[in-house]
Amino acid sequence: MHELPAFINELERLEERYDELEKLLADPEIISRKSEYNQYAKEMARISEVVFLYRRFKHNETEIASLEKTLTEKHEGEFLELVRNEVNELRAKNQAILDKIEQRLKQTETLEEKDVIVEIRAGTGGQEASLFVVDLYRMYIKYAQRHGWVTEMLSSHPTELGGFKEVIFSVRGRQAYQRLRWESGVHRVQRIPATETQGRIHTSAATVAVLVEPENAELQVNPKDLRIDVFRSSGHGGQSVNTTDSAVRITHLPTGIVVTCQDERSQLKNKNKALRVLRARLMDLFEQEQRSKISSERKSQVGTGERSEKIRTYNFPDHRVTDHRISLTLHKLEAILEGDLDAISDALINKMAELRND
């Protein structure tokens, strides 16, 4: 038997814990205690991918041991050559699995600490779409509060009727990226708008983008690549809400990315917030370019990951939310809009693990 990696004991521990969690989640007493049940479900979702990979590794090891036993028996040369080739193929597969496991273990440790920037923009549907942006923003803020994450408003463009054309905010806390990363895409709402006199159901949409907020060491931006403009902040209808040039617009010349921040009265604060958003967008652009070059990584994603992909529908008349990527429908619309997103995020995390292991 070839030498096993140092982290094999950790994999054994994770598999034992996974089996223990399966029993706990099937226990009626645990099921009745919602907060405890949710805690175990989150832990299970977090370790499931590595456990599935390890189980595949062990299955292959059993096959290798059986084939190696065959090699010690007397058989014709051609048959032995076939067995040796199969052993070599299985060993190569297991080495690839171990490499992936090691990467996932390191990645999990890293992703635990990643902060994110969330951008929500109104899509089709006019004023109703901008009001839906408010609903989504509130949903994510409530979700963050449930997990003890810290949120900070970075930029917003309100409308006259109390909606948002765009809202950008940061989320900081353990597992923020892991649990929010699959929110990127088009969110669709079906409901009767307050302005609708005939009682007709309208369909509107908003686009969500979840970006990793890079550390300074991860992404350096050359000041020479930036054009920074300052102007007076504007409110609803374009009227000026400040007497000084505190609003900041930053253009990244090589890519054409433009970020505007005007919520703060301080020009320096707006500039710093705009730079944070710009760096996150640049990091996202770089990562998307890298993913497009790696077809195998593209296959492992839940959906395409494109911003134009319709991922979820919120249907008010039926009180249901459907995530189209995993064909999951929950008849708990009100609870979800109050930040109860764990059932969806856990299902997405588990589906991601399954697809990566196929």
Q: Considering 273, 290, 307, which residue would you say is the last residue of a domain?
A: 290
245 & 314 share domain: no
What pLDDT shows up at residue 6? Answer: 67
Joined together, the tokens standing for residue 91 give: 């060993």
196 & 93 share domain: no
Helices 34-72/8-25 angle, 10° precision: 130
What pLDDT shows up at residue 304? Answer: 43
pTM: 0.63
User: 185 lies in a domain?
Assistant: yes
Q: Are 206 and 133 in contact (CB under 8 A)?
A: yes
Query: For residue 302, which of 204, 185, 207, 203 has the smallest C-alpha distance?
Result: 185
Return d(Cα 77, Cα 58) in angstroms, integer: 28
Torsion of CA 338, 345, 342, 358, to 10 degrees: 160
DSSP one-letter code for 193 = -
What pLDDT shows up at residue 139? Answer: 98
Query: For residue 348, which of 312, 316, 315 has the smallest C-alpha distance?
Result: 312
Q: Are 160 and 126 in contact (CB under 8 A)?
A: no
Q: Considering 261, 290, 319, which residue would you say is the last residue of a domain?
A: 290
DSSP one-letter code for 338 = T
What pLDDT shows up at residue 75? Answer: 65
What pLDDT shows up at residue 296? Answer: 42
What pLDDT shows up at residue 327? Answer: 92
Phi/psi at 82 (5° precision): -65, -40
121 & 194 share domain: yes
How many domains does the structure of the chain reveal?
3
203 & 312 share domain: yes
- CB burial of residue 144 (10 Å; 0-12, 13-18, 19+): buried
* Residue 39 domain boundaries: 8-111
User: 1 lies in a domain?
Assistant: no
Q: Which helix (H) or strand (E) holds 86?
A: helix 77-112
Q: Are 208 and 184 in contact (CB under 8 A)?
A: yes
What pLDDT shows up at residue 319? Answer: 95
Whole-Å CA distances, 211 to 112, 244, 286, 289: 15, 31, 11, 14
- CATH code where residue 149 lies: 3.30.70.1660
Whole-Å CA distances, 137 to 3, 49, 168, 192: 51, 30, 9, 20
- pLDDT values of the chain reduced to their tens digit, one per residue, 358 residues: 455 666 788 888 889 999 999 999 999 998 888 778 877 887 787 788 889 999 999 999 999 988 888 877 766 677 788 888 888 999 999 888 888 888 777 666 555 567 899 999 999 888 899 999 999 999 999 999 998 999 999 989 999 888 999 999 999 887 888 889 889 999 999 998 876 767 788 999 999 999 988 776 567 788 899 999 988 766 554 444 445 678 899 999 999 999 999 888 888 888 989 998 998 888 888 777 655 554 443 344 444 444 567 999 999 999 999 999 999 999 999 999 999 999 999 888 878 766 655 5
Residue with tokens 């509130």: 138
Per-residue burial over 102-112, b = 16 or more CB atoms within 10 Å of its CB, e = otherwise? eebeeeeeebe
